[in-house]
Structure formats: C-alpha cells, structure tokens
Structure 1
C-alpha cells in the first residue's frame, strides 16, 4: 500500500511541476511582448528630449562661468557629495542565502530523501549491496545532469543542484567502502579523487564558485570518509598538496578567494593534528610547501595589480604565524636546533617584498604590511632565542600586528580579530606565569617566563599607544571595550613585574614579601597617575586609580607595616628594612598636597572622606609602629606599650589631625573637611571619656588632659582669629563695593 501511495505522490508532484512550468513559460512570453512594446516608446521619448535640449541652450551655456569658479564649484560638489556607504563583508553572503536558501534547503532535502529511499529499499530487500551503490552513483550523476541542462537560464540554481549531485557521489562512495566493502581503500581513494577532479573541471567549465567549494569540501573530507584508522600522513599530505595546487590554479584563473580560504582552513587543521599527534621531520616539508602555496595565493592581487585587500592581508598574517607555531613546535618536540631559523627565513621572504616597495619609493599600505611582518617575525626569533614561551609570544606579537594593520587600513575586521585574539594572549600569559610555581632557581630577568612577559609587556604598551593615536587621528571617543582593554593591559604589566619580583624574594619572610609587594603596587599606581596625560588614561579610570592608591596606602600602613614591625621585634628583619617600608609616604604626600594631580577626583564629596580616612589611618599606624620599635626592647613588654600608645598618644594624634582638617576647611572653604574634623573630635572625646580615662594611672591621666586641653584651646584661638581675619576681609570688600 505504501509503495502505491509513494508512486501516486511522485506522479502528482511531476504533474504539478509540469503545470507550474507551463504557467511560468506563458508569463515569460507575456513579459517579453510587453518589453518589445515599451522599448520603442522609450526610445522616441529620449530622442524628443534630446532635440529640445539642442534647440534651447541651458542657463549655464548662456552665462559662461569662469574657469576658477567652475573649479571651486566642482571641488565643493566633490566635497559635499556623500561617500558611498561601506558594505559589511557579510552582506554578500546574506544576500546569497536570502536568494538561494530555498534551493539549498531543497537540494539538501532531496539528498536526504534519496538516502531514506535507498534505506527503505534496503530494509525491504529490494536491491543488493552492489546495486545499492550503483543506485546512489546513478542518482548523483542524474542530479548533476539536471544541473547541466539548467545551467544556461538558472546558473546559481544549477550550481547548487550540481553540488548536491557531487555530495551524493561522495557519500555513496564512502558508504560503498565503509559499510559494504565493495572495493579496497585505494580504489575508494581513486574514486573520490576522480570525483574531485571532475567537480573542479565542471566548476571551471560552468564558471561556478559554488561547485568548486563543494568539490573542495568533498576533496578535503574524502580522507576522513575512507579512513580505516591507520595513519599514512605522507600519502595524505601528498594528496592535499596536489589539491592545494589545483586550488591555487583555479584561484589565479577565476579569482575565487573563497576557494583559497577553504583550502587553508582544512590544510591547517590537518597539519596541526599531525603535529600534535605524531610530529615528524617530514611534516616540516609539508609546512613549508603549504606556506609557499598560500603565500602565493595571498599575493596574487599584489602581483597582478600591486594592491593588497583586507582578506589578502589577513591571510598573510595567519599563514606566517600558523606556520611558525607548527614548525617551531615540531622542531622543539624533536629536539632540533636552531628553532629561530624559520621566523628568520619567513622574515627574509617578507623583507624581499619590503625592499621591492622601498625601491619603488612606494611607502603605502603594502610597504607598511611587509615592514610589520618582517619586524614581527624578527621579534619572534629574538624571543625564541631567549627561550620564551612560544604560543604566548607569537599571539602577543600577532595581536599587535593586527591592530597595526587596522590602523593602516581602517578595516574593522582587523580590530575585531585583535579583540578576539587578545583574550587568548591573556590566557596564554596566565599559563606562562604558572611556571613560577613549578620551576626553581630561575635567573633574574633572563628567564623564559619573564622574557615572555617582556614580549607581552612590549606589545601591550605598543597597543595602548597605537589605540591612542588611532583615537586622536579619528577624533573618536573611547569605547567600553577600549577602556576594558586599557585596564586589563595595565593589569597585565603590573602582574608581570610583580610576579617576577615576588619569585626572587620568595626566600624572605612573609612580612617582607607583603611589604615589597605593597610598595611596588603603590609606586606602580603612582607612576600611572603621574603620567596619566601622556598615557591618555580615561578620566574615570584616573579616579579609580586614585581610590585604589588610597586603599593600598591604608593596607600598607596598617597591615603590612604592623607585620614588618613585628618581624623587626622578633629579629627576622632589620630596622633599616622598616625605614625602607616607610617610602610609601613620598607618593602619598605628593598626591595629597598636589590637588591638581587628578582634578576630577576632588569634585566629589566621597573623595574628601577617602583622603581624610587615609591620612588618619596612615599617620596613626605610622606613629604606632614607630613607637613600638623605639620603646620595646623586650617582646614581653609589647602589650603594655600598645595600651600606653592607644590611651595616651592616639587621642593626641587625632586631636591634632582634627584641628588641621578644620583649619584647612576654613582657609580653603571646603566644608567637608570641617565635618570630618568635628567627627574625629567626637570619636576622640568619646574614646577618651568612655575608655581611656579608666585605664590610665594618675600621672598619665593628668598629662593627657593637660596636653589635650592646651591643644583644644590653641585650636579654638586659631579658629577664632582666622574667622575674624576672614570677616574683616569680607567687610572691607563690601565697603569698597559701596564706595
């Protein structure tokens, strides 16, 4: 019953298709008749307009415009003419899909339908194994034949149909070999090779880029389809090399760039898999052959027209660096030397083209690209000579190269590639830093980890300045991604230097390591704030840096300083080390005293609170630790010294600081400081009368009250005097205005 229904359905589809085809032909005939009637009428209208123009001269002809004015007018017209909008590089792909999506889905569905029909016939035992393969091959050939007859009137449709037939041939050959074992592996390979050759010939004959892409997809996947699990890499890459040579010939003859990119993608995947699975000296030969083929492919427009397109430039970058990674990994795995030979040879190849451009005195885009490639490859060679980590160095240099090419060309694809590659650089750098925990006794600076970090630092600084110049040239505002990139970049530089320092002082006491780490962090942030304009650091980032700087000062003055002081008391560190630790006061005083360092920081109320809190904590902890080190000779007396300082000296310090805050508030008219001063007074008085008084002996209590009383009276007198001075100045100014 199902067979009868299927037959009826096929007959109905054929009838409907025939009926629609006849309708379409009648419509085409009617459209052709209308065109033949409309064309003579349009020609008559054009002739009539031409006669009128000849009889009546225009105003421009009647009143001739001077040459100079015409030139100016033309220049203005050219300037005012809007530049054509740049099309997205994906737009042709989307246009193709929109116009042909039904055809693509249809041929895919047809191939699946043929497959299901063959499976149904097999399940019903209608045909044997050999006829099954023959049926599939016949179906593929039949579909290709249909495409052949439709090629004149429906070129794109016919190309997709033909591609579907090629796909049927590939899959049929694969099934006949793997499932039915109708022929040997060599025979299957010969058949798939013949299908590929026929497909390439058809693509050239039909002038169809779609067919050759399908042929290449089949050609590159054929080894996987007929694989038995036994690796025969020399045979495989000989076949791939022949396929790439055919690709290169087709690309030169028809200028099909997508063909080269398809071949490059598959070839690189195969080469990397071979390199990671079973590195051999022979693989180096195929790396070099592939490099030559795809380098020629990338330079075909350069040889013909002396130009480099966006995609050609991207291919030059990728083929250089993917080949470098594979070749050097193979050399290192097999323990061959010297590994720098490959980047130097590739640099020499690019230097030849650079010399050619220099000889012609052509310092345009091509010159910049060849110069950038040459310098980048030499940099890779230097990095390898000092035994840096390969992937991190290569990716860091490649990221900078992409950003440089974006600056020179203006094509956003390179910027996108840069933002995709830069996170990979960070991940690779993190993996490189993990070597600090696994390796011992590395030399200072000249060790593989830090030399790799230096490459990353150099490229990161280059990227930051390059982005700054790009924004200045285009008068563009920094985007969110560029701000994130800047923060991450400064973070990478910071971590690279900090980890190297910590590694080499790891034998010191923990308190010393923490102190040095905090000091380095404080001075690093201070340098960024100091050179914020030259580094073109965003205003928001500047304010964030100041807050981070103050937080580091607080932690260093309280936590790290206390640890260092305890280490000095326990004879683990010298008093001189504690004095070095106090160096954080130099940048801190500069930041507090010079309010113009980050002008935007002092425009917000929280900034005054942050500055005041940092001053109070830093000064209090500084005096506290210095007092302990100068007064405690026996560690058993430490607790008593702490209590004595907290009860006697700390209220005095807070009173002095509160008085200074109020004085600054009155002098510079900053009300926030006066509030902070009175709050500090309140905390000090509350502490004094609620706790300190009950812990003091009589002498200390009397001394504390006398000193605090004198300070409060002097402060009050100073404020009253300053208040009178300000009042007299205001009154005098009002009198002058009245007169």
Structure 2
C-alpha cells in the first residue's frame, strides 16, 4: 500500500512542476502517507486482537469459577458395612425421634455459597459474551498522521539491524551529494567521477550477490542500495551534466530495471522486484523531455506489464501487481489529463484494452494461488 502512495506522489510531483526535486518530494510524501495508513491499520488490528484476548480471559475466569463451584467439597456417604448373618429373633421396634431439619449450611460450606452468589450476580446475560470493560468503553485517542509517520520511520530504523540500515542510508546520501557537487573544487574529469560512482554501485551489487547465502537480509539491502545508486547515477548524468542523451539514459534505466527483476526472481525477493517496478515506471518520467510519443510510452508500458504478467505466472506477489496497475493507469491518466485529444482515440484505445486484459489475467492468476 505504501508503495502505491509513493508512486502516486511521484507522478503528482512530476506533473506539478516537471522537476526531479518535486517528484522526489512527492514520492517521499506519498511514502509517508502510505506508511501512516499502514501503521494505523496495524494499530487497529492490534486493538481488535487485544479486545478479543480480554474477552477470552474473562470467559475463562467465568468458566473456572463455575468449575470451582461444581467441584466443591461434598459430604461423602459412609461405606456400607459388610453384611453379618443374624439369626431370626424377635425385634421390637423402638420409636426413633425424627431429627429437626437445619436450614443453615455448615461453616465449611459458607465460602462456597458466597462464591456461588457472587458468580451469579457478576455473570452477564450471555455467559460466553463478557460485559464490556472500561478500556472498551473509553478508547484512547489514536495518533495523528505525523505521529504515525514518525513511528513508522522509527520502527524501520530501529527494527532489526539498525547499524546496517543507517549505513546504507548514509552511503546513498553520500553518493547523491557526490554527484550533485561533482564540479566544485575537483580536477578529476566529470566522466571519471560518474564512472567511479557507478563502479562503487556495481561493487556493492557484487558484494550483495556474494553474501546472499550467508546473510540474506544484509545481501538484499546492499543490492537494493546499489540499484538505487545506479538509477541516481544515470539520471544525474542526463540532467545535471549533459553526458547522456535522453534515449541512451532511457535505455540504461530499462537495463537496470530488467537486471533488477532478474535478481529479484532468482533470489525470490519481493523488495527487489518492487524496486525494479518502481524504477521501470519512473524511467520514462526521469528521461522525459516533453516531446516524446505517447505510442512509444504506452508500448514501453506494455513490455513492462508483460514482464509483470510473466512474474505473476510464477510468483503471487500482490505488491508488484499493485505497483504495476497503479503506475500504468496513474501515469496514463496523468497523460490523458494533459495531452489527450479526440484525434488520438485510435492510437490510445488499443493500449487501454491491452492493459485491461493484462491485469484481468494477473488478477485471475493471483486468485488461483
């Protein structure tokens, strides 16, 4: 869910100003909103589970009280004595006084009777549905959107290997600032600097692949950071410094996307597949010059969705399907609001039908699993 919000924010940020900074800001804002919604849903599920647990505990205590009452100390009947043969003699019946009935319980049974009366008054109308507790009557206020986002960021940073995650974030930011300020106070050729950053990313990718059998989480995080650095390097080489023309940059972004998808399928890593899909849908936005053909754009989306359809045949990755659906129809809707004219009907309608059929098949494959 959070990836969908992130992609929507990326598209909206790009539509507003057609700048990478606004698109990145929109993506971060969408990711924060998605994380907040996800955390809120988890919090409501936790509250529901806590309520059910309290109901079960109260019902269990009620059953224990009933068992204690039913299994209380009783008065054992004396065992019958062995029959002794007696000779036939005349026995005169002596009148025996009938004892007076006592309507009060003996002292040893008074606590049991008190427990019965207490359980009878405390028992609700439905024995298996306890009365609502004070916590249920007054639910605490839920955290707002900002608090949820902060809690989600803290949970991601402090959950698991914190040192590793902080190191990966710092590495990514360091390489980003290196590309941004590559021309200030350095005498090394600009091409060599970009080549060095790309070499570092490829080294991280190779290290992650080598460590995949030893520490899978660590290896996947290194590979994800390397893929992000490669996307950033290609984009910066096209926009910040005119080292690559848009067609070459678009080809490199597509190559990184395909390579990331292969890594994800090989290692059964949904995170890498989601990163590849996000990068694939962001590639035409990052390499756009505003003068492209919508037929080429939708043809590229058709190839990208064909890859998602092939992955859906082998893997039941719902997140990947959601990213593909949102990216395809979200970017298509944005293009339609800005550039569609009635004359373009016959060049756009076949793509719309094709995308509809593709995601109908993807939903059918997911339902079968």
TM-score range, shorter chain: 0.5 to 0.7
Counterpart-to-counterpart distance in 1, 2:311 and 2:321: 9
Question: Quick one: which of 284, 305, 311 aligns to 1:223?
Answer: 284
Distance 1:94 1:169, change over 3 A: closer
SS at match of 2:252: helix
SS at match of 2:186: coil
- 1:287 maps to 352
- 1:182 maps to 243
Counterpart-to-counterpart distance in 2, 1:238 and 1:254: 24
Kindly indicate whether the alpha-carbon contact (under 8 Å) linking 1:241 and 1:290 is maintained by their aligned counterparts in 2: yes
Q: Displacement, 1:174? A: 1.0
- 2:332 maps to 271
- TM-score of the superposed pair, with normalisation by structure 2: 0.54
- 1:296 maps to 361
Q: Displacement, 1:106? A: 3.3
Counterpart-to-counterpart distance in 1, 2:209 and 2:244: 29
Counterpart-to-counterpart distance in 2, 1:210 and 1:230: 33
- 2:184 maps to 123
SS at match of 1:99: coil
- 2:51 maps to none
Counterpart-to-counterpart distance in 1, 2:166 and 2:315: 27
Distance 1:233 1:120, change over 3 A: closer
Kindly indicate whether the alpha-carbon contact (under 8 Å) linking 2:234 and 2:253 is maintained by their aligned counterparts in 1: yes
Q: Displacement, 1:242? A: 0.7
Alignment of 1:474-493 (within 5 A): none
Counterpart-to-counterpart distance in 1, 2:203 and 2:360: 39
Unaligned runs of 5+ in 2: 1-127, 129-151
Determine whether 1:258 maps to 2:319.
yes
Q: Displacement, 1:132? A: 2.1
**Which is helix-richer, 1 or 2?**
1
Distance 1:227 1:153, change over 3 A: same
Q: Displacement, 1:288? A: 1.1
Counterpart-to-counterpart distance in 2, 1:270 and 1:237: 10
Counterpart-to-counterpart distance in 2, 1:102 and 1:266: 33
Kindly indicate whether the alpha-carbon contact (under 8 Å) linking 1:140 and 1:168 is maintained by their aligned counterparts in 2: yes
Q: Displacement, 1:181? A: 1.9
Unaligned runs of 5+ in 1: 1-79, 81-92, 306-739
Distance 1:271 1:118, change over 3 A: closer
Counterpart-to-counterpart distance in 2, 1:293 and 1:94: 35
- 1:604 maps to none
Alignment of 1:44-443 (within 5 A): 97=156, 98-99=159-160, 103-119=164-180, 122-279=183-340, 280-281=344-345, 282-302=347-367, 304=368
Listed one character per residue, the Cα deviations across residues 184-211 of structure 1 (whole Å, up to 9, x for unaligned) are 2221111111111111111111111111
SS at match of 2:264: helix
Greater RCO (Cα-Cα under 8 Å, separation 6 or more): 2
Counterpart-to-counterpart distance in 1, 2:180 and 2:252: 23
Listed one character per residue, the Cα deviations across residues 121-150 of structure 1 (whole Å, up to 9, x for unaligned) are 531223222112212211211111121122
Counterpart-to-counterpart distance in 2, 1:271 and 1:119: 31
Counterpart-to-counterpart distance in 2, 1:144 and 1:247: 23
Kindly indicate whether the alpha-carbon contact (under 8 Å) linking 1:275 and 1:283 is maintained by their aligned counterparts in 2: no
Distance 1:117 1:180, change over 3 A: closer
Kindly indicate whether the alpha-carbon contact (under 8 Å) linking 1:248 and 1:293 is maintained by their aligned counterparts in 2: yes
Q: Displacement, 1:108? A: 2.4
Kindly indicate whether the alpha-carbon contact (under 8 Å) linking 2:182 and 2:190 is maintained by their aligned counterparts in 1: no
Listed one character per residue, the Cα deviations across residues 612-645 of structure 1 (whole Å, up to 9, x for unaligned) are xxxxxxxxxxxxxxxxxxxxxxxxxxxxxxxxxx
Distance 1:105 1:221, change over 3 A: farther
- 1:386 maps to none
Distance 1:101 1:217, change over 3 A: farther
Runs (4 or more) in structure 1 with deviation over 2 Å come to: 93-106, 115-122
SS at match of 1:153: coil
Listed one character per residue, the Cα deviations across residues 258-302 of structure 1 (whole Å, up to 9, x for unaligned) are 111111111111111122122221222221111111111111143
Q: Displacement, 1:96? A: 8.8
Q: CA RMSD in A?
A: 2.5
Kindly indicate whether the alpha-carbon contact (under 8 Å) linking 1:189 and 1:226 is maintained by their aligned counterparts in 2: yes
Q: Displacement, 1:245? A: 1.0
Distance 1:96 1:291, change over 3 A: farther
Kindly indicate whether the alpha-carbon contact (under 8 Å) linking 1:121 and 1:127 is maintained by their aligned counterparts in 2: no
Counterpart-to-counterpart distance in 2, 1:164 and 1:114: 11
Kindly indicate whether the alpha-carbon contact (under 8 Å) linking 2:257 and 2:276 is maintained by their aligned counterparts in 1: yes
Kindly indicate whether the alpha-carbon contact (under 8 Å) linking 1:160 and 1:210 is maintained by their aligned counterparts in 2: no
Counterpart-to-counterpart distance in 1, 2:366 and 2:183: 52
Counterpart-to-counterpart distance in 2, 1:156 and 1:283: 42
Counterpart-to-counterpart distance in 2, 1:211 and 1:187: 24
Counterpart-to-counterpart distance in 1, 2:181 and 2:237: 17
Counterpart-to-counterpart distance in 1, 2:330 and 2:162: 29
Counterpart-to-counterpart distance in 2, 1:99 and 1:298: 33
Q: Displacement, 1:254? A: 2.0
- TM-score of the superposed pair, with normalisation by structure 1: 0.28
Q: Displacement, 1:120? A: 5.2
Counterpart-to-counterpart distance in 2, 1:168 and 1:162: 10
SS at match of 1:135: helix
SS at match of 2:160: helix
